[in-house]
């Protein structure tokens, strides 16, 4: 790996550190399902656990999903790291890939340590609630948008 790839590695590591630090702070200060209102009628901090994936997908499947999501995160991260090293993406795509890798590993750490992902950011309006999520999920979502935009902007013809 060349020196030009180090900033992307550092971004991924920073994502993991930020994600884990925020999760540890919430775990140390909240009881399960406790909520602290931050912005009335819009945003709370809370502590919930998600054994599934996004929107609690497969959360009720008895445990096998933990290993499935671990394997999926490792495979996708491996592909993205390889793509960054090979310069398959332009700059914004590499940033997006690094964000996805960092977010994925943040959630992998949770699955290995706790058997589920720690979520704590809860946005809502009146009776509508967006499922609680965490910093790793935020990195993954923003990274995915950057990858798509990079792909559109730097479309390669076959």
67 pLDDT higher than 80: no
Per-residue model confidence (pLDDT) at position 58: 53
Query: How much is the pLDDT for 20?
Result: 98
Whole-angstrom distance, CA of residue 56 vs CA of residue 147:
24
- Catalytic status, residue 137: yes
| pLDDT for position 61 | 54
pLDDT at 156: 65
pLDDT for residue 96 = 98
* pLDDT-derived band at 2, boundaries 50, 70, 90: confident
From the list 19, 44, 110, 137, the catalytic residue is: 137
Q: How many residues does the chain have?
A: 158
> What long-range pairs does 59-67 form, CB within 8 A, spacing at least 24?
63/115, 66/111, 66/115, 66/116
Catalytic residue among 19, 44, 110, 119: 119
What average pLDDT score do residues 89-98 get?
Answer: 96
In the residue annotation, 88 being an active-site residue is answered as no
**For the whole model, what pTM was predicted?**
0.88
CA distance 27 to 118: 8
Mean pLDDT computed over 77-91: 95
What burial letters (b/e) apply to 118-153, b meaning 16+ CB within 10 Å?
Answer: bbbbbeeeeeeeeebbbbbbbbbebbeebbeebeee
| Residue 155: per-residue pLDDT | 77
Between 103 and 58, the higher pLDDT residue: 103
pLDDT of res. 6: 93
């Amino acid at each position: 790996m060349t020196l030009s790839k180090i900033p992307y590695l550092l971004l991924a590591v920073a994502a993991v550190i930020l994600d884990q630090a925020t999760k540890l702070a919430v775990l140390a200060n909240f009881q399960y399902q406790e909520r602290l209102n931050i912005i009335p009628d819009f945003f709370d901090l809370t502590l919930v656990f998600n054994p599934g994936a996004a929107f609690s997908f497969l959360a009720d499947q008895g445990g096998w999903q933990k290993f499935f999501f671990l394997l999926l995160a490792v495979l996708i991260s491996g592909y993205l790291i390889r793509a960054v090293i090979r310069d398959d993406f332009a700059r914004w795509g590499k940033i997006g890939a690094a964000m996805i890798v960092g977010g994925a590993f943040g959630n992998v750490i949770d699955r290995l340590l706790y058997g589920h992902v720690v979520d704590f950011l809860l946005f809502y309006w009146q009776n509508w609630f967006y499922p609680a999520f965490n910093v790793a999920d935020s990195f993954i979502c923003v990274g995915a948008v950057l990858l798509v935009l990079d792909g559109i902007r730097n479309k390669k013809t076959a």
